[in-house]
């Protein structure tokens, strides 16, 4: 059994409620931090832990905290990013629904470390029932002296508020989230200044993902050094993976970052393999924005090594033959799935979610959707494949925020690895609307390394 740090108590009945959470060791980390540590010592433990942002970017959390400007007399804010909208990702929802106090405790410790007295949880609007759960947890934490004025007699004050969004993927980008929290359209800001200097209401602000903030609790409980012993290399600790698509047991799993991709997909402890005896065709392991890989490159790197569920191993080979850990939204496609159609659905998603601020993204995502729809519907030309490649190249790196890159990468990777499936759609238009290309050679062992680069 893999070791767990976040979901180790998830099976306990009633863990959603304060009394049960407290009885099972809850708020011990908060007590330790507030009563026996300084804010800088807390930050130091987080740095030692090697914790990396769990929202998708993987930036070291302790380092991010250390960038926070601390001018005299100016309030500082911590904002919890619960906007979880990356297709394939539903792990934060699980944490908030089932162990809300873990997040509240993580927020308390993190706010203490950052010197924030007013903290917001920005949650996607569609998770409309979860604010009730969080607000109940906040009220109970208040009643028991973990929030409000002079918390546990330490002199530290904190209030936590829940803010619902209203349907916009872009608000997961931290500056768009801040704009939205200020009551505006979610248009990302030009950086610098970074939120650490000028964020919410022009005050220094840290924005962290739900899972990142929850992970602060075990880090304080066991210490940063101990936490860093979980996982492999620079992928320290555990990671929540939300697995979906063609799997026997889709769901949210906490993994110690030391298992292989193959074990994650096929072992009974995790996803339990692919239903109906079908074979694996492709996988997008880190949320829809990261490159799709065919089965043969997913399970083994181009060098022939076993691909592991770590930031480094998933990235092995770069964009030519690797992918990314991203948010941990693990999407599995079996042999019956059509990569062109799936890519079209993602292009449609990004077109719908583009905020419209930057022309390459606003126009490019729409073009990609239309061209992909044509190819999928048997109306594509061979030159459309090159056109798609050209459009995505012109979006990537040319926008204010990473949504442009996120829209470009899935299209690029699909063409890079599945070009013959695209070509088959063009050369067999009548077939393409009736059936799918199938597994083809995508699971075959790679003959020579050079063939895939």
Partner 1 sequence: MAVQFSEEKLNKVKEIIARYPEGKQKSALIPVLHLAQESFGGWLSSETMDYVASLLQITPIEVYEVATFYSMYNLKPVGKYLFEVCHTGPCMVSGSDNIIAYIKEKLGIDVGETTPDGLFTLKTVECLGACGYAPMMQLGKFYKEHLTKEKVDQIIAELRAQAN
Residue 386, phi then psi, degrees to nearest 5? -70, -35
Taking each helix axis from N to C end, the angle separating 91-98 and 130-143, rounded to the nearest 10 degrees, works out to: 40
90 binds partner 1 (CB under 8 A): yes
Instruction: Give min distance, CB of 125 to partner 1, in A.
Output: 5
Member of 39, 55, 62, 87 binding partner 1 (CB under 8 A)? 87
Member of 70, 143, 184, 441 binding partner 1 (CB under 8 A)? 184
Residues 277-306, one symbol each (x = binds partner 1 by CB under 8 A, - = not), give -------x---x------------------
> Judged by CB under 8 A, which stretch of 20-28, 149-157, 250-258, 367-375 contacts partner 1?
250-258
Give the burial class of 277: count Cβ atoms within 10 A of its Cβ; 0-12 exposed, 13-18 middle, 19 or more buried.
exposed
Residues 425 and 433: their CA atoms lie apart, in Å, by 8
Query: SS3 sequence, 79-105?
Result: EEEECCCCCCCCHHHHHHHHCHHHHHH
Read off the tokens for 72. Answer: 């005299």
Read off the tokens for 366. Answer: 């729409």
376 binds partner 1 (CB under 8 A): no
Member of 14, 75, 148, 318 binding partner 1 (CB under 8 A)? 75
> Judged by CB under 8 A, which stretch of 12-20, 52-60, 78-86, 384-392 contacts partner 1?
78-86
Q: Are 231 and 310 in contact (CB under 8 A)?
A: yes
242 binds partner 1 (CB under 8 A): yes
Residues 144-163, one symbol each (x = binds partner 1 by CB under 8 A, - = not), give -----------------x-x
Member of 104, 177, 181, 302 binding partner 1 (CB under 8 A)? 181
31 binds partner 1 (CB under 8 A): no
125 binds partner 1 (CB under 8 A): yes
**At 207, which helix (H) or strand (E)?**
strand 205-209
* Nearest partner of 314 among 350, 279, 262, judged by Cα: 262
337 binds partner 1 (CB under 8 A): yes
Q: Is 48 helix (H, G, I), strand (E, B) or coil?
A: helix
Instruction: Give min distance, CB of 92 to partner 1, in A.
Output: 8
Q: Output 81 or 85, the one with its CB closest to partner 1.
A: 85
> Judged by CB under 8 A, which stretch of 105-113, 184-192, 387-395, 397-405 contacts partner 1?
184-192
Taking each helix axis from N to C end, the angle separating 359-376 and 403-427, rounded to the nearest 10 degrees, works out to: 20
Q: Output 39 or 250, the one with its CB closest to partner 1.
A: 250
**At 343, which helix (H) or strand (E)?**
helix 339-353
Instruction: Give min distance, CB of 249 to partner 1, in A.
Output: 9
In this structure, are strands 280-284 and 293-294 parallel, antiparallel, or unpaired? antiparallel
Residues 445 and 304: their CA atoms lie apart, in Å, by 9
Q: Output 64 or 342, the one with its CB closest to partner 1.
A: 342
Member of 231, 245, 285, 328 binding partner 1 (CB under 8 A)? 245
Q: Are 328 and 311 in contact (CB under 8 A)?
A: no
> Judged by CB under 8 A, which stretch of 26-34, 41-49, 87-95, 102-110 contacts partner 1?
87-95
Instruction: Give min distance, CB of 2 to partner 1, in A.
Output: 18
Q: Output 232 or 377, the one with its CB closest to partner 1.
A: 377
Taking each helix axis from N to C end, the angle separating 28-36 and 210-222, rounded to the nearest 10 degrees, works out to: 70
Residues 272 and 288: their CA atoms lie apart, in Å, by 22
| DSSP state letters, 364-428 | HHHHHHHHHHHHHTT---HHHHHHHHHHHHHHTT-SSSTHHHHHHHHHHHHHHHHHHHHHHHHH-
* Nearest partner of 351 among 334, 336, 373, 376, judged by Cα: 373
Read off the tokens for 250. Answer: 């889709």
Name the DSSP class of 300: B
234 binds partner 1 (CB under 8 A): no
166 binds partner 1 (CB under 8 A): yes
243 binds partner 1 (CB under 8 A): yes
Instruction: Give min distance, CB of 338 to partner 1, in A.
Output: 10
Instruction: Give min distance, CB of 447 to partner 1, in A.
Output: 29
> Judged by CB under 8 A, which stretch of 15-23, 305-313, 327-335, 377-385 contacts partner 1?
327-335
> Judged by CB under 8 A, which stretch of 83-91, 220-228, 380-388, 437-445 contacts partner 1?
83-91
Q: Output 81 or 236, the one with its CB closest to partner 1.
A: 81
Q: Output 46 or 271, the one with its CB closest to partner 1.
A: 271
**Residues that bind partner 1 in the complex, under the rule CB under 8 A:** 75, 84-90, 93, 118, 120, 124-129, 161, 163-169, 180-186, 201, 242-246, 250-252, 284, 288, 329, 331, 333, 337, 341-342, 345-346, 348-349, 352-353, 355
């Amino acid at each position: 059994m893999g070791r767990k740090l976040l979901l180790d108590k998830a099976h306990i009945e009633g863990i959603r409620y304060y009394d049960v959470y407290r009885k099972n060791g809850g708020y011990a980390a908060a007590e330790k931090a507030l009563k026996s540590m300084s804010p800088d010592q807390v930050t130091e433990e987080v740095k030692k832990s090697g914790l990396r942002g769990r929202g998708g970017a993987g930036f070291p959390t302790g380092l991010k905290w250390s960038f926070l400007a601390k001018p005299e007399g100016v309030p500082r804010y911590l904002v919890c990013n619960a906007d979880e909208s990356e297709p394939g990702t539903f792990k934060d929802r699980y944490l908030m629904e089932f162990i809300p106090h873990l997040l509240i405790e993580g927020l308390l410790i993190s706010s203490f470390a950052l010197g924030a007295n007013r903290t917001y949880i920005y949650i996607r609007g569609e998770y409309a029932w979860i604010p009730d759960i969080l607000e109940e947890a906040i009220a109970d934490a208040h009643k028991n002296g973990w929030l409000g004025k002079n918390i546990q007699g330490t002199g530290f004050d904190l209030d936590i508020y829940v803010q619902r969004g209203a349907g916009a993927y872009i608000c997961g980008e931290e500056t768009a989230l801040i704009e939205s929290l200020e009551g505006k359209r979610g248009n990302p800001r030009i950086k610098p200044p970074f939120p650490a200097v000028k964020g919410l209401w022009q005050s220094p602000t840290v924005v962290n993902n739900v899972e990142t903030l929850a992970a602060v609790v075990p880090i304080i409980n066991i210490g940063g050094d101990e936490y860093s012993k979980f996982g492999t290399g620079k992928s320290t600790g555990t990671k929540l993976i939300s697995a979906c698509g063609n799997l026997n047991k889709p769901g949210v799993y906490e993994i110690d970052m030391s298992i292989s991709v193959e074990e994650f997909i096929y072992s009974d402890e995790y996803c339990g393999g692919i239903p109906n005896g079908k074979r694996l065709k492709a996988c997008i392991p880190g949320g829809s924005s990261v490159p799709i890989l065919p089965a043969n490159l997913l399970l083994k790197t181009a060098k022939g090594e076993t691909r592991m569920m770590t930031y480094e191993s998933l990235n092995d080979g770069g964009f030519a033959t690797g992918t990314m850990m991203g948010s941990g939204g693990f999407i599995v496609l079996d042999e019956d799935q059509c990569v062109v159609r799936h890519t079209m659905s993602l292009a449609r998603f990004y077109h719908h979610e583009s905020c419209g601020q930057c022309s390459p993204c606003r126009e490019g995502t729409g073009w990609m959707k239309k061209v992909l729809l044509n190819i999928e519907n048997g109306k594509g030309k061979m030159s459309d494949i090159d056109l798609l490649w050209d459009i995505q190249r012109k979006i990537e790196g040319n926008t204010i925020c990473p949504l442009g890159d996120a829209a470009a990468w899935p299209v690029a990777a699909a063409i890079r690895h599945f070009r013959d499936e695209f070509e088959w759609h063009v050369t067999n238009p009548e077939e393409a609307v009736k059936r799918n290309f199938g597994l083809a050679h995508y699971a075959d062992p790679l003959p020579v390394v050079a063939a895939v680069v």
